[in-house]
Amino acid sequence: MEKQIITIGLPRAMLYYRYRTLWRVFFQELGMETVVSPPTDREILERGTALAIDEACLSLKIYLGHVAALVGRCDYILAPRVSNFGRHRSFCTRFEALPDLVRNVFRGEKQKWLSYEVDEEMKRAGEEDALVELGRSLGCSAKAAKRAYKAAKKAELAEHKARVQKQEQLCRREGMKVLIAAHSYVAEDPYMGRAVTDYLKRSGVIPLRADLTDRDGALKHSRELSPTCKWELNREILGGIALRRGEVDGIILLSAFPCGPDAMVNELITRRVKGVPMLNLVLDSQSGTAGVETRLESFIDIIRFQEGKL
């Protein structure tokens, strides 16, 4: 009898945009298949909004919509718990709560869940050990799981390096450049940040990303703007701004309402980064594309006016 291949569901939201290659290659190396939820649309947002509490941020509402889209379509759905990479390298608490959240929200469904925990500060649980243990829980040997992790990590780092190099090429092009300071799950989501990037391109602007840079270098340079910021993802964005602010014509602070870390860090950025036009753009479930495009159009006109090109 042919052995049934295990399928793992990956919600196309939150940390998916950071770890999609790591997860896909890891499970692939273990002989499993991954199923990814469809790109975000209005239906996914509305479904997630109905499942979330009112105070949840837009990114979390979208995440729940993606989980709902996978329920019943795969053997397991992956919901990792990522707490920190060590002292002063924390993640937002929503990333700690995801496994408990989905198990409770979807407790009436006959769905199985997968999780692993990264907490290097309190539990000394690093990413490699966590994923090796995850592989073992799926019936794989520790040796096979470790080999799968090594291959997956190599692929993840190679993909990120290629994206950073592509952005370096964009930096060398002539034309107006605007730096988008946003989490990848906001900037790359089709229903949120992708519209911003697409509009900038249509307007003849070269969009750059603050988070697409060497991560270790960004963490070091983040201290130029804040020596005490504890959120890893925000520190990477701060470092990207510190590295790029002299190369761009404007900065867009793009966030999902009501993100607590972004609200604090974006206020810090507006106070400490001077001499470059800045737009604080907060997206929510009621935001219309026309309203966003109007603000972007005005922002581009301000830049051109200041540079004497309007």
| C-alpha to C-alpha distance for 304 and 54, rounded to whole angstroms | 39
| Range with lowest mean pLDDT among 155-159, 178-182, 286-290 | 286-290
CB atoms within 10 A of CB 231: 20
| C-alpha to C-alpha distance for 265 and 84, rounded to whole angstroms | 18
Q: Which residue do the tokens 């520790």 mark? A: 142
Q: Which residue has the higher pLDDT, 225 or 306?
A: 225
Predicted confidence (pLDDT) at residue 203 exceeds the cutoff of 70: yes
Tokens of 235: 């520190």
| pLDDT more than 70, % of the chain | 97
Mean of pLDDT values over 49-73 = 96
pLDDT for residue 34: 98
pLDDT for residue 277: 96
Predicted confidence (pLDDT) at residue 240 exceeds the cutoff of 80: yes
Predicted confidence (pLDDT) at residue 2 exceeds the cutoff of 60: no
CA 21 to centroid of chain Cα atoms:
13
pLDDT for residue 3: 66
| C-alpha to C-alpha distance for 209 and 201, rounded to whole angstroms | 13
pLDDT in tens, 63-112: 999 999 999 999 999 999 999 999 989 999 999 999 999 999 999 999 99
Mean of pLDDT values over 18-39 = 98
Pairing of strands 81-84, 278-283: unpaired
- Which spans in the chain are helix H? 16-29, 42-51, 58-70, 93-105, 127-137, 142-171, 184-187, 193-202, 215-221, 232-244, 260-272, 289-306
Tokens of 284: 């929510």
pLDDT for residue 4: 85
